[in-house]
Homo-oligomer: A and B are copies of this chain.
């Protein structure tokens, strides 16, 4: 990451700017042509959870998802960073059950929900969360289903050398154009490998997924199916009041959006054949959410209502515990909005 990424989001208090976030944004089409960019878009970033729809491709391509009768909700959950709400937890369990497995097959670890309302509800109903409550449990359930359907051993499915992770590595190399190996590999929060790739390659990967450009028919079809499932069931991609869910609800069937830890966001507008990848340099979620909403808004200028709805997610006021307006989160002029 360069030292020269521009300030893209400001947080104000009173009449002053209190904090600033720098970052990079790139929008590309299916051919890989950049149609908009800010900052150092050749820098390598860990996509983290933003690339879950790529990681779910083996589940579709192997026929596992169809064999187990998975519909939009299950496919959306396989691409999700969910809040651990009861519907998410129940569906992850059902996906495992479809393959004859249960929570004990998961290797993602356990954590309480990151969402305040949900952790309060969990604290009142659970002694401790299970691996089903992990925000990645749907992705992991999908991994296990892919292994079971393919006759692979599921134990160790999170490891770099497991056939599933090798398969995912190949899928992601094809989509992003980046070479993935130990030197650009880290371990994600849920223990699977995560590979740093140039931001532009990440965007190109999603642009390929929504256009099919350069993809074999099986991959093009599987990609379209996963993206459509997420757009059809945005609650299962994130949860109540979450950014991904709200962005996809703003234009049903027309916007795909997926967050990742440390300030990453990916999105796509299938009807325009373009995809977005961005990262806030300091890893802040509040900035990445503003950045992706503003970037999407740029491409809906001729639809005033949708544009305004997206800009309301990009620029929003902050209230304190007494409900008093204390400041704003707002994108900078760099976005040209």
Q: A residues touching B (Cβ–Cβ < 8 Å)? A: 1, 3, 7, 11, 13-22, 44-46, 107-112, 116, 119-121, 123-124, 134, 183-191, 194, 196, 262-263, 280-284, 287, 320-324, 326-327
12 residue pairs from A and B, CB less than 8 Å apart: A13-B187, A14-B196, A19-B282, A19-B283, A21-B282, A108-B322, A116-B119, A134-B321, A187-B320, A189-B321, A190-B321, A191-B320
Kindly state the separation between the CA atoms of A109 and B283 in the bound complex, as whole angstroms.
29
- When distances are taken between beta carbons in the complex, the residues of chain B under 8 Å from A14 are 184-187, 196
Is the beta-carbon distance between A16 and B109 smaller than 8 angstroms?
no
The smallest C-beta distance from A138 to any residue of chain B, in angstroms, reads: 15
Kindly state the separation between the CA atoms of A287 and B184 in the bound complex, as whole angstroms.
24
Partner among B19, B44, B46 whose Cβ is within 8 Å of the Cβ of A262: B19
- When distances are taken between beta carbons in the complex, the residues of chain B under 8 Å from A1 are 17, 20
Copies in the complex: 2
Is the beta-carbon distance between A123 and B134 smaller than 8 angstroms?
no
Is the beta-carbon distance between B123 and A13 smaller than 8 angstroms?
no
Is the beta-carbon distance between A19 and B281 smaller than 8 angstroms?
yes
**Contacts A19-B283, A120-B123, A191-B320 given; 8 further ones with Cβ under 8 A?**
A13-B187, A13-B194, A14-B184, A14-B185, A16-B184, A108-B322, A134-B321, A190-B320
- When distances are taken between beta carbons in the complex, the residues of chain B under 8 Å from A16 are 44, 46, 184, 186, 196
The smallest C-beta distance from A63 to any residue of chain B, in angstroms, reads: 30
Is the beta-carbon distance between A321 and B116 smaller than 8 angstroms?
no
The smallest C-beta distance from A148 to any residue of chain B, in angstroms, reads: 21
Kindly state the separation between the CA atoms of A185 and B287 in the bound complex, as whole angstroms.
24
